[in-house]
Amino acid sequence: MSRPETALAPDEDAYLSLSGLTKRFGGVQALAGAKLLVRKGEIHGLVGQNGAGKSTMIKILAGLVQADAGQIHIGGRDLADARPRDVEAAGIHFIHQERMLVPDFTVAEALFLGHEVRLGPFLARRRMQASAQALMQRYFGRVLPGNRLIAELSTGEQQIVQIVRALLQEPQVLVLDEPTAALVRAEIDHLFEALNRLRAGGMTVVYISHYLSEIEALCDRVTVLRNGQTVATVDPRHTSSREIASLMVARDLNEMFPARVASKGRPVLSARALGDGRNFQDVTFTLHAGEVLGLTGLQGSGAKELLRSLFGLDRITSGEVSIEDRPFRARSPREAAAQGVAFVPEDRRHQGAILEMSIAANMTLANLARFSWRGLLRPRLEREVATRMISELAIKAEGPDAVVASLSGGNQQKVVLAKWLTRAAPLYILDEPTLGVDVAAKIEIYELVQRLARDGAAILVLSNDLDELVGITHRILVMYRGRTASSIPAATTSPAALLDVILTGQSEIAHVVH
Amino acid sequence: MTNLILRHGITVVTVLAFAFFGWNAQGFLSVPNLASVLVNNVALLAIAAFAMTLVVRTGGIDLSIGTAIDMAGLAFVAALRVNLGVTIAVLAGLAAAAATGGFNALLITRLKISPFLATLGTLFIGHSLQQLLADGGNPIYVTAASLPPAFQFLGHGLILGVHLRIWLVVILALAMALLLSRSSFGRRLTASGMQVNVAWYSGLPVDRDIALVYVLAGVICGIAGVLLTAGVSVYVPFAGNAFLLNAIGATFIGTTLSRSHVANVQGTLLGVILISVAANGLLLIGWNFYWQQLATGMVIFLALAFTFGGRRLAGGTP
């Protein structure tokens, strides 16, 4: 694939420039010489996978985080060691992902918090109101009454308040971090209209988003980050979102993935027209014994919620699920586990393992009935099984009595997996099974997944690591805005093609198979 | 070696307390004095503290153990006064205490109120209830006509020359130790106390277990309430609340004995002994009664500082 490395960005016409940015957090190199060059009056997109360095870059620009090295200039002014107040004084304003508004304030109070207009010792309420209303009318074509409470507004309206609040300071540059994550379609259209009007008025905008379709519709240029470095700055009118997606993923896959199990057995999990009334709807799929099914989607796509509902953590409100031909219904993990579901949660420290407890105690937690007799624990059986698991899964530990806190992340994750292995469940649900795990342990976890599949288990893996999905699953279910966008055979796809589907909700080759 | 001593900081402090009072307080180490400390100071506090230990093990706290003790005493006396017999009266006492615990369980597991606030509410409600039922908070005496031998036995009985209260403490301690460290139920409680989400994600019946713990804690307090009332032949409103702070103190002193800082029976028992001995010893030295709580506070600081400060010195995690 050709690299559309751009030649259309000579440095001299950059109004806002960040260059050579380097930042290390402990053992993680968040930024390694990244640059971002933004021209005056353009809407500049910033994209990259999770962990590519987008948010670190924005935090450095905002003065919230100090870069290890690098330069920041705006209109020729040096902002390298600036604090948040200096950055604001230089005219750069941020609309953050989290709504930074006090819910109990009125619209008027929220708009002028910290920047009250005064007439002598008194607040100039009328004047504040008038200027806020004028801005809302001009950019959003509507007016929010000043006496409404923030808590009463929709997410989109809260966003308007945030933007107007920034506009009142007459900024030079507006930075929006994932502004549409919680918005509905109509609100997104309103936001785009407002941003276009702002651009027409000479405003410079930096727009961070996961949604490449938005970038395509809105931005004049896009900068792509990968592994803390700037890969390219491109013009989305000349570069397709698929090409942008391929710039975002690393393609140097080594031999990390063990061979997949070939045979596919009887159906284990079948879901028909599932919905939870909020996050996902009309999800239909079947998962067979010996099959590894991937599940992925952006935040808010409903993938996470779908996974949780299959373990009784969230409610299913419509549709049917059956496990091994028996109707499945669970209001708690306990009920789900009793019906044959094993679940490895994403948050190892708070949901997966009890760090202060021994390895043996953790491994038996999901199956205490087997390890007790008339209510009393059987410590010898417990240690025996734990010792066997430790050697089978190659867990590096002193022994079954060692506390889980003393293990590395990868070995902790193996303990969490082992907890469910004693139950021999027909269905395993793994939520980000290799998050925060080193490469060696990753490979061992992949091997374990294949072994489970070979032994006839059905496995559902939610992951945002696209290499992993393509490498270990048979099929990948992509969720987009609450619906299954596509079901892609892993053998026929690539991480870049997959990302394209995740970001746009459309697959170029129509192989939608249920 | 250093670690072993540090972990047993509370044991060291207890031994030091015995040595100090044995040296300075006339008659402290005499058999009658120590026996009296055991029966009058240690026994009931230990039972109340066991209830607290159970609850703290699940990561909660019970501010209403005094209320459960009082409700048991009140129901016990009320049943005796209408001549229902000692057996029924004991059962009525235990049932009243269980109901107090059940009310907590309802608030905590159904209404999802934090244990601190739920049991604080129960404490207040119990206070009003006693004032209403006991005529503005007056003591209710057990009348002479209703004092059968069984009642005497509950208050002052001996088995093989050892006071009934001591037997009950020993039996409860053994049962609790078995429950907490050897039973499946105890493992589940410990897991919930350490990291309730993991327990939930592991499919454990977290709410059911925790509800049971508060009821069980109520019943254990009920035993203390019946023994207390039988010992003095009178129900005194709010008498149970005297145990609350000492039981919390003893339980948390006791957590220092555990490597993972969980509440445990052995530690709680040591904490109870330490607090009781300090109170008795200071009294014998002739210190003013008003100094006692200050001394208890100092003992708590000393035991905690010894353990946690020492651990930091030894390079372990605090």
10-residue stretch averages of pLDDT, chain A, 514 residues long: 41 82 78 92 87 84 90 88 87 78 81 74 76 80 80 81 85 88 75 90 89 85 90 87 74 59 84 91 92 90 92 92 92 93 90 93 92 92 94 88 85 92 91 77 86 92 88 91 87 85 72 43
Which residues in A lie closer than 8 A to residue B180 (C-beta atoms)? Answer: none
Average pLDDT on B163-175 reads 95
Question: Rounded to 5 degrees, what are φ and ψ at A261?
Answer: -70, 135
- What is the rounded CA–CA span in Å between residue B178 and residue B119? 26
Write the CATH number of the domain with boundaries A14-255.
3.40.50.300
Of A334, A371, A372, the CB nearest to B204: A334
Q: Which CATH architecture has domain A265-340+425-513?
A: 3-Layer(aba) Sandwich (3.40)
Return the number of other C-beta atoms located less than 10 Å from residue B289's C-beta.
9
- Name the DSSP letter for residue A358: B
- Across the interface, whether the CB atoms of B201 and A368 are under 8 A apart is answered no
Task: Judge whether B318 lies within some domain.
Answer: no
Residue B283 has pLDDT above 50, yes or no: yes
Candidates A343, A330, A359; CA nearest to A423 is: A343
Which residues in B lie closer than 8 A to residue A371 (C-beta atoms)? Answer: 184
Q: Which residues contact B305 (CB under 8 A, 6 or more apart)?
A: none
Query: Chain B residue closest to A406 (CA)?
Result: B317
**Could you tell me which residues of chain A have a Cβ less than 8 Å from any Cβ in chain B?**
332-334, 336-338, 343, 345, 347, 350-357, 361, 365-366, 368-369, 371-372, 375-377, 403, 419
β-partners of residue A78 are A73
Of B182, B198, B203, the CB nearest to A377: B182
CB of B70 within 8 A of CB of B96? no
What does each C-alpha distance from A496 to A210, A467, B157 come to in angstroms?
Answer: 14, 9, 82
- Please report, rounded to a whole number, the percentage of residues in chain B having pLDDT higher than 70: 92
What does each C-alpha distance from B224 to A436, B73, B171 come to in angstroms?
Answer: 51, 9, 13
**Residue of A349, A365, A373 to mutate for B, most B C-beta atoms under 10 A:** A365
What pLDDT band is residue B317 in, cutting at 50, 70 and 90? very low
- What is the rounded CA–CA span in Å between residue A37 and residue A23? 18
- Across the interface, whether the CB atoms of A333 and B183 are under 8 A apart is answered no
Strand (E) positions, A384-494? 427-431, 458-462, 475-480, 483-489
Q: Which residues contact A266 (CB under 8 A, 6 or more apart)?
A: A288, A289
Of A343, A355, A357, the CB nearest to B201: A343
- Across the interface, whether the CB atoms of A361 and B197 are under 8 A apart is answered no
Find where tokens 């299913």 sit.
A316
- What is the rounded CA–CA span in Å between residue A323 and residue A461? 17
DSSP sequence for A37-100: EEETT-EEEEE--TTSSHHHHHHHHTTSS--SEEEEEETTEE-TT--HHHHHHTTEEEE-SS--
Query: Chain A residue closest to B197 (CA)?
Result: A351
Total of domains in chain B: 1
Domain with CATH 3.40.50.300 in chain A: 14-255, 265-340+425-513
pLDDT at residue B5 in the model: 62
Domain of residue B92 covers 2-313
Q: Is A187 helix (H, G, I), strand (E, B) or coil?
A: helix
What pLDDT band is residue B103 in, cutting at 50, 70 and 90? very high
- Dihedral sign, CA of B105, B106, B110, B115? negative
pLDDT at residue B69 in the model: 96
- What is the rounded CA–CA span in Å between residue A407 and residue A386? 15
Query: Chain A residue closest to B206 (CA)?
Result: A334
pTM of the model: 0.72
Which residues in B lie closer than 8 A to residue A376 (C-beta atoms)? Answer: 178, 182-184
